[in-house]
Protein backbone atom coordinates (compact mmCIF):
# COMPACT_ATOMS: atom_id res chain seq x y z
CA UNK A 1 0.00 0.00 0.00
CA UNK A 2 1.18 3.51 -0.69
CA UNK A 3 1.77 5.85 2.22
CA UNK A 4 0.02 9.25 2.08
CA UNK A 5 3.21 11.07 1.01
CA UNK A 6 3.43 8.84 -2.04
CA UNK A 7 0.03 9.97 -3.24
CA UNK A 8 0.44 12.64 -5.87
CA UNK A 9 -3.18 13.14 -6.81
CA UNK A 10 -6.17 12.42 -4.64
CA UNK A 11 -9.75 12.94 -5.71
CA UNK A 12 -12.39 12.60 -2.99
CA UNK A 13 -16.12 12.31 -3.52
CA UNK A 14 -15.90 13.77 -7.02
CA UNK A 15 -19.20 14.70 -8.60
CA UNK A 16 -19.86 16.51 -11.87
CA UNK A 17 -23.45 17.18 -12.87
CA UNK A 18 -24.37 19.15 -15.96
CA UNK A 19 -27.74 20.82 -15.56
CA UNK A 20 -30.35 20.07 -18.21
CA UNK A 21 -33.86 21.20 -18.86
CA UNK A 22 -36.67 19.26 -20.40
CA UNK A 23 -37.95 20.75 -23.66
CA UNK A 24 -40.47 23.55 -23.22
CA UNK A 25 -40.55 26.81 -21.32
CA UNK A 26 -41.40 25.27 -17.97
CA UNK A 27 -39.46 22.06 -18.49
CA UNK A 28 -38.36 20.21 -15.40
CA UNK A 29 -34.78 20.67 -14.36
CA UNK A 30 -32.52 17.66 -14.35
CA UNK A 31 -28.86 16.82 -14.54
CA UNK A 32 -26.52 14.67 -16.56
CA UNK A 33 -24.60 12.85 -13.86
CA UNK A 34 -21.33 12.55 -15.78
CA UNK A 35 -19.23 11.80 -12.69
CA UNK A 36 -21.23 10.66 -9.71
CA UNK A 37 -19.11 9.97 -6.66
CA UNK A 38 -15.55 9.00 -7.54
CA UNK A 39 -12.65 8.55 -5.14
CA UNK A 40 -9.28 7.96 -6.72
CA UNK A 41 -5.61 8.35 -6.04
CA UNK A 42 -2.49 8.36 -8.16
CA UNK A 43 0.81 7.35 -6.60
CA UNK A 44 4.15 8.89 -7.51
CA UNK A 45 5.55 7.30 -10.68
CA UNK A 46 2.39 5.35 -11.29
CA UNK A 47 0.32 4.93 -14.44
CA UNK A 48 -3.38 4.68 -13.65
CA UNK A 49 -5.66 3.83 -16.55
CA UNK A 50 -9.34 4.78 -16.70
CA UNK A 51 -11.37 2.50 -18.94
CA UNK A 52 -15.03 2.22 -19.83
CA UNK A 53 -17.47 2.76 -22.67
CA UNK A 54 -18.16 6.19 -24.14
CA UNK A 55 -20.32 8.21 -21.80
CA UNK A 56 -18.97 6.56 -18.65
CA UNK A 57 -17.44 9.85 -17.48
CA UNK A 58 -13.76 9.15 -18.02
CA UNK A 59 -13.12 12.30 -20.06
CA UNK A 60 -15.11 14.41 -17.61
CA UNK A 61 -12.92 13.02 -14.86
CA UNK A 62 -9.85 14.07 -16.87
CA UNK A 63 -11.11 17.63 -17.11
CA UNK A 64 -11.84 17.66 -13.37
CA UNK A 65 -8.35 16.39 -12.53
CA UNK A 66 -6.78 19.15 -14.64
CA UNK A 67 -9.31 21.72 -13.37
CA UNK A 68 -10.52 22.61 -16.83
CA UNK A 69 -13.91 22.43 -15.15
CA UNK A 70 -14.69 22.72 -11.46
CA UNK A 71 -16.40 19.71 -9.87
CA UNK A 72 -20.01 20.02 -8.64
CA UNK A 73 -18.91 18.30 -5.46
CA UNK A 74 -15.81 16.82 -3.89
CA UNK A 75 -12.23 17.97 -4.05
CA UNK A 76 -8.93 17.19 -5.74
CA UNK A 77 -5.53 17.53 -4.14
CA UNK A 78 -2.39 17.56 -6.22
CA UNK A 79 0.79 17.03 -4.25
CA UNK A 80 -0.92 18.28 -1.09
CA UNK A 81 -2.53 21.43 -2.58
CA UNK A 82 -6.23 21.68 -3.32
CA UNK A 83 -7.45 22.73 -6.77
CA UNK A 84 -9.63 25.82 -6.64
CA UNK A 85 -8.36 27.11 -3.29
CA UNK A 86 -7.11 30.39 -4.75
CA UNK A 87 -5.53 31.63 -7.97
CA UNK A 88 -1.99 31.34 -6.72
CA UNK A 89 -2.42 27.74 -5.67
CA UNK A 90 -4.13 26.91 -8.97
CA UNK A 91 -1.20 28.37 -10.85
CA UNK A 92 1.23 26.22 -8.88
CA UNK A 93 -0.86 23.10 -9.41
CA UNK A 94 -1.26 23.78 -13.13
CA UNK A 95 2.50 23.39 -13.50
CA UNK A 96 2.39 20.00 -11.92
CA UNK A 97 -0.48 18.47 -13.84
CA UNK A 98 -0.93 18.85 -17.59
CA UNK A 99 -3.21 17.29 -20.17
CA UNK A 100 -2.65 15.64 -23.56
CA UNK A 101 -5.81 15.45 -25.64
CA UNK A 102 -7.07 12.96 -28.18
CA UNK A 103 -7.01 14.91 -31.40
CA UNK A 104 -3.65 16.50 -32.21
CA UNK A 105 -5.23 18.07 -35.30
CA UNK A 106 -7.50 20.36 -33.32
CA UNK A 107 -5.29 20.78 -30.23
CA UNK A 108 -2.70 22.98 -31.95
CA UNK A 109 -3.25 26.55 -33.11
CA UNK A 110 -2.77 26.38 -36.89
CA UNK A 111 -1.43 29.94 -37.03
CA UNK A 112 1.36 29.47 -34.53
CA UNK A 113 4.77 27.99 -35.30
CA UNK A 114 6.02 25.10 -33.20
CA UNK A 115 8.37 27.50 -31.42
CA UNK A 116 5.48 29.80 -30.52
CA UNK A 117 3.37 26.87 -29.38
CA UNK A 118 6.12 25.61 -27.08
CA UNK A 119 7.09 29.05 -25.80
CA UNK A 120 3.55 30.09 -24.85
CA UNK A 121 3.43 28.08 -21.61
CA UNK A 122 6.87 29.45 -20.70
CA UNK A 123 5.60 33.01 -21.18
CA UNK A 124 2.54 32.34 -19.05
CA UNK A 125 4.59 30.73 -16.27
CA UNK A 126 7.29 33.35 -16.71
CA UNK A 127 9.20 32.68 -13.50
CA UNK A 128 9.96 29.12 -14.59
CA UNK A 129 12.54 29.73 -17.34
CA UNK A 130 14.15 33.12 -17.99
CA UNK A 131 13.21 34.56 -21.39
CA UNK A 132 16.73 34.35 -22.73
CA UNK A 133 16.66 30.57 -22.21
CA UNK A 134 13.33 29.96 -23.95
CA UNK A 135 14.99 29.04 -27.21
CA UNK A 136 17.22 26.50 -25.51
CA UNK A 137 14.22 25.07 -23.70
CA UNK A 138 12.38 24.60 -27.02
CA UNK A 139 15.37 22.66 -28.38
CA UNK A 140 15.33 20.53 -25.26
CA UNK A 141 11.58 19.85 -25.50
CA UNK A 142 11.77 18.92 -29.18
CA UNK A 143 14.63 16.54 -28.48
CA UNK A 144 12.70 15.03 -25.58
CA UNK A 145 9.78 14.02 -27.80
CA UNK A 146 11.96 12.88 -30.69
CA UNK A 147 11.54 15.84 -33.03
CA UNK A 148 14.24 17.69 -34.90
CA UNK A 149 15.24 21.18 -33.76
CA UNK A 150 14.94 22.37 -37.36
CA UNK A 151 11.16 21.83 -37.05
CA UNK A 152 10.69 24.79 -34.73
CA UNK A 153 9.81 27.32 -37.42
CA UNK A 154 7.23 25.11 -39.09
CA UNK A 155 3.45 25.19 -38.65
CA UNK A 156 1.30 22.29 -37.35
CA UNK A 157 -0.13 21.46 -40.81
CA UNK A 158 3.35 20.50 -41.99
CA UNK A 159 3.41 17.54 -39.60
CA UNK A 160 1.85 14.10 -39.57
CA UNK A 161 -0.60 13.05 -36.85
CA UNK A 162 2.10 11.27 -34.85
CA UNK A 163 4.43 14.27 -35.01
CA UNK A 164 1.60 16.58 -33.95
CA UNK A 165 0.89 14.41 -30.94
CA UNK A 166 4.61 14.68 -30.09
CA UNK A 167 4.26 18.47 -30.26
CA UNK A 168 1.24 18.33 -27.93
CA UNK A 169 3.25 16.23 -25.50
CA UNK A 170 6.20 18.65 -25.70
CA UNK A 171 3.84 21.55 -24.95
CA UNK A 172 2.47 19.70 -21.93
CA UNK A 173 6.02 19.05 -20.73
CA UNK A 174 7.11 22.70 -21.14
CA UNK A 175 6.24 23.61 -17.54
CA UNK A 176 7.97 20.47 -16.18
CA UNK A 177 4.86 18.78 -14.79
CA UNK A 178 4.98 15.67 -12.62
CA UNK A 179 1.71 14.30 -13.92
CA UNK A 180 0.29 13.93 -17.41
CA UNK A 181 -3.40 13.28 -17.87
CA UNK A 182 -3.69 11.65 -21.30
CA UNK A 183 -7.21 11.52 -22.73
CA UNK A 184 -7.26 8.90 -25.52
CA UNK A 185 -3.86 10.07 -26.79
CA UNK A 186 -3.52 7.33 -29.42
CA UNK A 187 -7.04 7.10 -30.84
CA UNK A 188 -6.53 9.59 -33.66
CA UNK A 189 -3.25 8.06 -34.83
CA UNK A 190 -2.35 5.43 -37.39
CA UNK A 191 -1.83 1.94 -36.06
CA UNK A 192 1.88 1.82 -36.85
CA UNK A 193 2.36 5.26 -35.25
CA UNK A 194 0.45 4.42 -32.05
CA UNK A 195 3.28 2.12 -31.01
CA UNK A 196 5.82 4.93 -31.33
CA UNK A 197 3.82 7.32 -29.16
CA UNK A 198 3.22 4.60 -26.58
CA UNK A 199 6.97 4.01 -26.51
CA UNK A 200 7.51 7.75 -26.05
CA UNK A 201 5.19 7.77 -23.02
CA UNK A 202 7.19 4.87 -21.57
CA UNK A 203 10.49 6.59 -22.23
CA UNK A 204 9.36 9.93 -20.72
CA UNK A 205 8.11 8.17 -17.66
CA UNK A 206 11.55 6.69 -17.05
CA UNK A 207 13.52 9.80 -17.95
CA UNK A 208 11.37 12.37 -16.15
CA UNK A 209 9.76 10.24 -13.48
CA UNK A 210 6.30 11.20 -14.73
CA UNK A 211 3.05 9.79 -13.42
CA UNK A 212 0.12 9.25 -15.75
CA UNK A 213 -3.62 9.16 -15.69
CA UNK A 214 -4.15 7.34 -18.96
CA UNK A 215 -7.63 7.30 -20.44
CA UNK A 216 -8.28 4.82 -23.20
CA UNK A 217 -10.98 2.63 -24.63
CA UNK A 218 -8.30 0.29 -26.03
CA UNK A 219 -7.95 -2.48 -23.49
CA UNK A 220 -4.84 -3.89 -25.17
CA UNK A 221 -3.03 -0.55 -24.95
CA UNK A 222 -4.05 -0.18 -21.32
CA UNK A 223 -2.70 -3.58 -20.41
CA UNK A 224 0.63 -2.72 -21.98
CA UNK A 225 1.18 0.57 -20.13
CA UNK A 226 -0.86 0.79 -16.91
CA UNK A 227 0.15 -0.28 -13.40
CA UNK A 228 -3.37 0.08 -12.13
CA UNK A 229 -6.76 0.14 -13.84
CA UNK A 230 -10.02 1.77 -12.79
CA UNK A 231 -13.12 0.59 -14.66
CA UNK A 232 -15.88 3.17 -14.92
CA UNK A 233 -19.56 2.70 -15.61
CA UNK A 234 -22.09 5.52 -15.67
CA UNK A 235 -20.02 8.00 -13.68
CA UNK A 236 -18.67 5.64 -11.04
CA UNK A 237 -15.68 3.39 -10.58
CA UNK A 238 -17.05 -0.16 -10.43
CA UNK A 239 -13.74 -1.95 -10.10
CA UNK A 240 -10.11 -1.01 -9.66
CA UNK A 241 -6.85 -2.75 -8.96
CA UNK A 242 -3.43 -3.75 -10.26
CA UNK A 243 -3.54 -4.22 -14.04
CA UNK A 244 -2.71 -7.90 -14.22
CA UNK A 245 -5.06 -8.65 -11.35
CA UNK A 246 -7.93 -6.92 -13.20
CA UNK A 247 -7.18 -8.59 -16.53
CA UNK A 248 -6.58 -12.05 -15.10
CA UNK A 249 -9.19 -12.05 -12.34
CA UNK A 250 -11.88 -9.48 -13.10
CA UNK A 251 -14.56 -9.60 -10.41
CA UNK A 252 -17.23 -7.13 -11.49
CA UNK A 253 -19.60 -8.53 -14.13
CA UNK A 254 -19.16 -5.37 -16.19
CA UNK A 255 -15.37 -5.72 -16.24
CA UNK A 256 -15.76 -9.35 -17.27
CA UNK A 257 -18.09 -8.37 -20.11
CA UNK A 258 -15.85 -5.53 -21.22
CA UNK A 259 -12.72 -7.70 -21.31
CA UNK A 260 -14.52 -10.49 -23.11
CA UNK A 261 -15.60 -8.08 -25.87
CA UNK A 262 -12.10 -6.87 -26.71
CA UNK A 263 -10.85 -8.34 -29.98
CA UNK A 264 -8.19 -11.02 -29.59
CA UNK A 265 -5.65 -11.78 -32.30
CA UNK A 266 -4.51 -15.19 -31.12
CA UNK A 267 -7.08 -17.79 -32.27
CA UNK A 268 -6.16 -20.23 -29.49
CA UNK A 269 -6.89 -17.62 -26.83
CA UNK A 270 -10.03 -16.48 -28.62
CA UNK A 271 -11.55 -19.93 -28.61
CA UNK A 272 -11.01 -20.62 -24.93
CA UNK A 273 -11.93 -17.32 -23.33
CA UNK A 274 -15.14 -16.32 -21.65
CA UNK A 275 -17.70 -14.90 -24.08
CA UNK A 276 -20.23 -12.52 -22.65
CA UNK A 277 -22.52 -10.54 -24.90
CA UNK A 278 -24.13 -7.61 -23.14
CA UNK A 279 -27.69 -6.92 -24.10
CA UNK A 280 -29.37 -3.56 -23.89
CA UNK A 281 -27.70 -0.19 -23.92
CA UNK A 282 -25.87 2.01 -21.48
CA UNK A 283 -28.64 3.84 -19.61
CA UNK A 284 -28.77 7.62 -19.80
CA UNK A 285 -26.59 9.37 -17.21
CA UNK A 286 -29.50 11.82 -16.81
CA UNK A 287 -31.64 9.04 -15.43
CA UNK A 288 -29.47 6.21 -14.10
CA UNK A 289 -31.14 3.04 -12.78
CA UNK A 290 -31.76 2.72 -9.06
CA UNK A 291 -29.37 0.60 -7.04
CA UNK A 292 -26.53 -0.79 -9.11
CA UNK A 293 -26.29 1.20 -12.36
CA UNK A 294 -25.18 -1.88 -14.27
CA UNK A 295 -28.12 -4.07 -13.22
CA UNK A 296 -30.15 -3.35 -16.37
CA UNK A 297 -27.53 -5.15 -18.47
CA UNK A 298 -26.26 -7.59 -15.87
CA UNK A 299 -27.08 -11.27 -16.36
CA UNK A 300 -26.62 -11.93 -12.64
CA UNK A 301 -28.79 -9.13 -11.26
CA UNK A 302 -31.17 -9.92 -8.43
CA UNK A 303 -33.99 -7.90 -6.81
CA UNK A 304 -31.55 -6.57 -4.27
CA UNK A 305 -29.45 -4.96 -7.03
CA UNK A 306 -32.37 -2.64 -7.80
CA UNK A 307 -32.58 -1.30 -4.28
CA UNK A 308 -29.03 -1.25 -2.87
CA UNK A 309 -26.18 0.82 -4.27
CA UNK A 310 -23.01 -1.30 -4.15
CA UNK A 311 -19.82 0.33 -2.87
CA UNK A 312 -16.21 -0.59 -3.65
CA UNK A 313 -15.11 -3.40 -1.39
CA UNK A 314 -11.68 -4.98 -1.18
CA UNK A 315 -11.40 -8.39 -2.83
CA UNK A 316 -7.62 -8.77 -2.91
CA UNK A 317 -4.54 -6.64 -2.23
CA UNK A 318 -5.41 -3.25 -3.74
CA UNK A 319 -8.20 -4.82 -5.82
CA UNK A 320 -11.71 -3.50 -5.17
CA UNK A 321 -15.06 -4.09 -6.82
CA UNK A 322 -18.53 -2.64 -6.32
CA UNK A 323 -20.95 -5.53 -6.73
CA UNK A 324 -23.44 -6.98 -4.29
CA UNK A 325 -22.87 -10.49 -5.62
CA UNK A 326 -19.08 -10.61 -5.14
CA UNK A 327 -19.32 -13.60 -2.84
CA UNK A 328 -21.52 -15.55 -5.28
CA UNK A 329 -19.44 -15.65 -8.48
Partner 1 sequence: MTMPASETPLLEIQGLSVEFRARRAAPVQAVQDLSLTARAGECVVVLGESGSGKSVTAKAVMGLLEGNARTTAGSIRLDGADLLADPAAMRAARGRDMAMVFQDSLSALNPVQRVGDQIAEMFRVHQGLSKAEARTRAIELMRQVAIPDPERRARSYPHQISGGMRQRIVIAMAIALKPRLLIADEPTTALDVTVQKGILDLFRVLTEAGAGLVFITHDIGVAAEIADHIVVMYAGSVMETGPAREVLARPHHPYTRALLASVPRIERPGARTPIPGGLPDPADRPAGCLFAPRCPLATADCTATRPELESLEPGRAAACLRITEVQHVLAQ
In angstroms, give the least distance from the CB of 271 to partner 1.
11
Query: Which of 56-70 are b and which e, b meaning 16 or more Cβ less than 10 Å from the residue's Cβ?
Result: bbbbbbbbbbbbeee
In angstroms, give the least distance from the CB of 190 to partner 1.
5
User: Which residues, in sequence order, are CB contacts of 69 under 8 Å at separation 6+?
Assistant: 16, 60, 63
Q: Would you say 45 or 146 has its CB closer to partner 1? A: 146
In angstroms, give the least distance from the CB of 313 to partner 1.
24
In angstroms, give the least distance from the CB of 193 to partner 1.
6
What is the binding site for partner 1 (CB under 8 A)? 53-54, 160, 162-163, 190-196, 198-199, 202, 217-221, 223-224, 243-244, 247, 257-259, 261-267, 269-270, 277-282
Q: Would you say 121 or 185 has its CB closer to partner 1? A: 185
Phi, psi dihedral angles at 33 (to 5 degrees): -90, 80
In angstroms, give the least distance from the CB of 324 to partner 1.
22
Cα–Cα distance, 243 to 229 (Å, whole number): 5
User: Which residues, in sequence order, are CB contacts of 288 under 8 Å at separation 6+?
Assistant: 33, 36, 234, 235
Distance of CA 33 to the CA centre of its chain: 18
Q: Would you say 33 or 166 has its CB closer to partner 1? A: 166
Q: Would you say 52 or 71 has its CB closer to partner 1? A: 52
Element (H, E) at 304: helix 303-307
Q: Would you say 60 or 243 has its CB closer to partner 1? A: 243
Expressed in angstroms, the distance from the first to the final Cα of the chain is: 26
Amino acid sequence: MSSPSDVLVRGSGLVKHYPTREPGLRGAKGAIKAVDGVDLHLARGECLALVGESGCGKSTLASLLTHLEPPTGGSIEVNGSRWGKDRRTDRQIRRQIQIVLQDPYSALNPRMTIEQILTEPLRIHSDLVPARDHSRRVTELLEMVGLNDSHRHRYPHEFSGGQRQRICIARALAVTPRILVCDEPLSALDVSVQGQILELFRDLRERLGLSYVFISHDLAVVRSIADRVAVMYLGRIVEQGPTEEIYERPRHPYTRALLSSAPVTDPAVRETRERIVLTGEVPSPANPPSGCAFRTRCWLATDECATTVPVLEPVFQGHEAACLLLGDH
